[in-house]
Amino acid sequence: MSFSQKYHPLLTVDKDTGEQESLQCRDPRKRRSLLVIAVIIIMFTSLPFVHMIRSRGFWGACHGSQRNSSTLAKLPSHYTLPSGDNIPSVALGVWQAGKGEVGNAVKTALTAGYRHIDGAWIYCNEEEVGQALKTSSIPCEELWLTSKLWNTFHAPEDIETALDQSLSMLGTNYLDLYLIHWGSYSPTCASCLFRTRPVAFKTCTTILDGDLTADPYPTWQKLEELVDKGKIRYIVISNFNTRRIKNLTANNLKYQPAVNQVELNFWNPQPELLKLSKENGLLLEAYSPLGSDKQVGKSLSVPEVKSITSKLRITPAQVIISWSIQRSTIVLPKSITPSRITENLEVFELPQEDFERLEKAATSHTPQRVVNLSAGWKLPFDVFDGQ
C-alpha cells in the first residue's frame, strides 16, 4: 500500500480485498468523523503555505500589478535647509493631545523613530511633552523641537518671557524651531481664552494690534536677538500668505525664515504657494495633512487614494503622507494611537504616474480651506487675502 493510500483522509481500504473505496460506502458516523479530520488537516497544511506565498510576494503576482510595500523605495527621511542642517520630513504633531495622552504619544513616536516633535505653548501640554523627552535616552542634539510664540506675546518686550516658559516646561535650553503662531482654540485647556488668527493681539487681550499684524518686523528683530543668544536655532512663520511673506522679507533680515507652517492637504493643496516657496528656498510644513478632523474620512476615501492603496498595498494615510512628502513638504500628522503613529512614519515613493494622478486630482477641485475665522473674529480683512 502506498503512502498516499495509507494516509489519504478521504479513502479507506477494504480489509478483505485490499480495494480502495470511497468514504461514501462506509458507516455514516465514521464518515462524518473522517470528514472533520480531513478539514482540520487541510486547514493546518494550507494556512502556512498561503502565508508563505503572500509574504514572498507571489500573492500579488497572482492578482495583477499589486506590489508589496517592502519592494517600494523609501522617501528621504530629512530635508536639507539652506544652512546645511537636515530636518526630519515627518514630525509628530501634539495639538489636541490631552493630559495623560500626549506623553505616551511622544514616547511611542520616539521609539518608532520620530525625531521631530511639533508643539506649542497654547496646546497646554508642553510640560508633559518635556517629561516624556526627559525619560528618553535620545540625545537632545538628535531631536528637533518646535514651539510657538502665541499671538498675545508678539510685542518685543513679551517674547523672551514667553519663550523661557516653553523652554522650562520642555526641559531644554533651546528650541530648534520657534514659530510666530496664530493657532486656534485648544479645547484641552480651560485657561486658553484666545482663539486667534495669523495676526498679533495686544498683550493679554483679543484686541487687534494693527501695527504688528501689518508689519511683524519688530517681532522678528527680537526673535533674531534670541537666535544670537542661542535660545532659538531657526525662526519659523505660520500661515503667512505671499503678501505677508514679501512684507517681512523686504526688510533687512539677519536670519531668513526657515519654514512656513500652513494648512496643506488634498483639499487645500496650495500649488502656487508651494511653487513660490521652492523658488525662495522656504520649506512648507503641512499641518492637517490628512485634512481637518471632519475631512480625514473623506480624504482616505478619495478614489485615487483608494486605487493607489490597492495597487501598492499600503494604507490610505501612507499614500497621502507619501504624496505630501514627494511634493517637498514637511508633514505634521497628529495622533495618540500607537499603531497610527508608527504607520504615519512609514512613507514610500509613489510611482511617478500615481503621484501625478493624485496631484492632478488634488489641484483640479475648488480649494477647501477649513481654518479661517476672519469673519468670526470680525476682522476688517481676510487673513488669507492675496495668497
Catalytic residues, by residue number, are: 123
The secondary element (H helix, E strand) that includes residue 259 is strand 259-263
Please provide residue 65's backbone torsions phi and psi, each rounded to the nearest 5 degrees.
-95, 15
**CA-to-CA distance for 315 and 234, rounded, in angstroms?**
34
User: Sign of dihedral through CA atoms 160, 165, 170, 173?
Assistant: positive
Contact 240, 260 (CB under 8 A): yes
Cell of 56: 514572498
Q: What is the torsional sign of CA 351, 356, 361, 366?
A: positive
Do 133 and 161 meet the contact criterion of CB atoms below 8 Å apart?
no
Please enumerate, as own/partner, the contacts of 75-80 that have beta carbons within 8 Å and a separation of 24 or more.
75/322, 75/325, 75/326, 75/347, 75/348, 75/349, 76/325, 79/283, 79/328, 79/330
Contact assessment for residue 367 and residue 269, using Cβ atoms and an 8 Å cutoff: yes
* Spatial separation of the C-alpha atoms in residues 341 and 36, rounded to whole Å: 44
* Burial class of residue 178 (count of CB atoms within 10 Å of its CB; 0-12, 13-18, 19+): buried
C-alpha distances out from residue 74 to 318, 322, 370, Å: 12, 9, 31
Q: Taking a C-beta distance cutoff of 8 angstroms, is the pair 226, 212 a contact?
A: no
255 to 124, 146, 234, 329: CA distances (angstroms): 29, 17, 8, 21
Tell how far CA 222 is from the center of its chain. 31
